[in-house]
């Protein structure tokens, strides 16, 4: 049997008859004054808000508002909040640290880590950050970490929910995690579906975890279930794909990637690719070359 029956069973759910993708779960129905203020702070006049681009600003503003109004300013004014793309099933984590000095005095520290993959909307960020701040308050103010969702955590959760009644602070998040890349078992009586954050399942080496049937790749989908449009490769990116290996071989061993790309850009501009002069006098694709060199 060429297929591996141990494909992880973290499936989105079986769809009868191979039907189209249903919704991926709605964002929690929360919208506090703190979130409204944070969004207003991050948004630019006349432009729609790009959450992925402004999530750090939104998180910082939310923390400031929550700390002031929900926790009475008891948490540190400057608090470390980081984002981690490797958190695939956990919305957020609060890390604790206790340092005992030689004098016997103990210092309590905490930081919050948020998931780039799971928290894809401002509403999810709002609920998760408030949850993690309750953990931080339990540790920094009450010196209590266990049980993680015990009476001390619930005390802070009840307090902040009185201030923000539309935000639900539960012991775990209840919203669906959007995994854009979809796979499905080809067995007509199974049709088990699997989601991933990247195109990471090798359908020739993996099998359905339910029936051991062959898997097929369905494509990339948006959060609303519609199929994502594939971005067309630019002429310059195709040129790089075709010539990168040969150019790298001609350069000295250990040449940095940036210098390889610089050489490719020179060749492109000199007409070695399809970067011909346009009517406006610019070389088509040069903008792509410059962006690649700048790492944008």
Q: Which range among 37-51, 235-249, 261-275 shows the weakest confidence by mean pLDDT?
A: 37-51
Task: Return d(Cα 11, Cα 117) in angstroms, integer.
Answer: 17
- What does the alpha-carbon distance between residue 215 and residue 144 come to, in Å, rounded to a whole number? 47
Structure confidence at residue 16 (pLDDT): 29
**Helix (H), strand (E) at residue 283:** none
Number of helices and strands in the chain (H, E): 7, 6
Average pLDDT over residues 163-189: 81
Give the pLDDT band (50/70/90) at residue 196.
confident
Question: From CA 262, how far away is CA 244, in angstroms rounded?
Answer: 11
Q: Pull the structure tokens for residue 195.
A: 């989601």
Distance CA 200, CA 196 (A): 7
Residue 276's contacts (CB-CB under 8 Å, 6 or more residues apart) are 283, 284
Tokens of 109: 């520290």
Q: Which helix (H) or strand (E) holds 93?
A: strand 92-100
Higher pLDDT, 21 or 11: 11
The contacts of residue 242 (CB under 8 Å, 6+ apart) are none
pLDDT per position as a tens digit, 106-128: 999 999 999 998 898 888 899 99
Q: Where is pLDDT greater, at 240 or 141?
A: 141
* Distance linking the first and last C-alpha atoms of the chain: 45
In the chain, the percentage of residues whose pLDDT exceeds 90 is 30
pLDDT at 286 over 60: no
CA 198/CA 175 separation, integer angstroms: 20
- 205-264 pLDDT, tens per residue? 888 888 888 899 888 888 777 888 877 878 888 888 888 889 899 899 888 898 999 998
């Amino acid at each position: 049997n060429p297929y591996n029956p141990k494909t992880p069973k973290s499936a989105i759910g079986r769809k009868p008859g191979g039907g189209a993708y249903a919704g991926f779960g709605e964002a929690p129905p929360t919208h506090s004054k703190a979130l409204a203020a944070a969004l207003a702070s991050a948004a630019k006049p006349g432009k729609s808000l790009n959450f992925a681009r402004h999530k750090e600003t939104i998180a910082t503003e939310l923390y400031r508002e929550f700390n002031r109004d929900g926790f009475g300013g008891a948490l540190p004014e400057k608090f470390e909040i980081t984002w981690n793309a490797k958190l695939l099933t956990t919305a957020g984590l609060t890390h604790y640290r206790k340092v005992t000095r030689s004098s016997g005095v103990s210092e309590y520290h905490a930081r919050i880590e948020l998931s780039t993959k799971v928290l894809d909307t401002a509403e999810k960020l709002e609920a998760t950050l408030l949850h993690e701040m309750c953990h931080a308050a339990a540790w920094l103010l009450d010196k209590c970490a266990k049980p993680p969702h015990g009476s001390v955590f619930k005390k802070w959760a009840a307090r902040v929910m009185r201030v923000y009644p539309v935000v639900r602070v539960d012991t775990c998040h209840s919203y669906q995690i959007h995994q854009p890349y979809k796979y499905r078992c080809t067995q007509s009586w199974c049709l088990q579906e699997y989601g991933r954050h990247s195109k990471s399942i090798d359908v020739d080496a993996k099998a359905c975890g339910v029936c051991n049937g062959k898997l097929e790749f369905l494509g990339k989908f948006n959060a609303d279930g519609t199929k994502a449009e594939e971005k067309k490769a630019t002429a310059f990116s195709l040129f790089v794909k075709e010539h990168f290996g040969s150019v790298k071989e001609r350069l000295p061993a250990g040449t940095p990637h940036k210098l390889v790309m610089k050489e490719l850009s020179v060749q492109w501009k000199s007409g070695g690719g399809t970067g011909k002069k346009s009517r406006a006098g610019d070389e088509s694709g040069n903008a792509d070359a410059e962006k690649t060199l700048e790492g944008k």
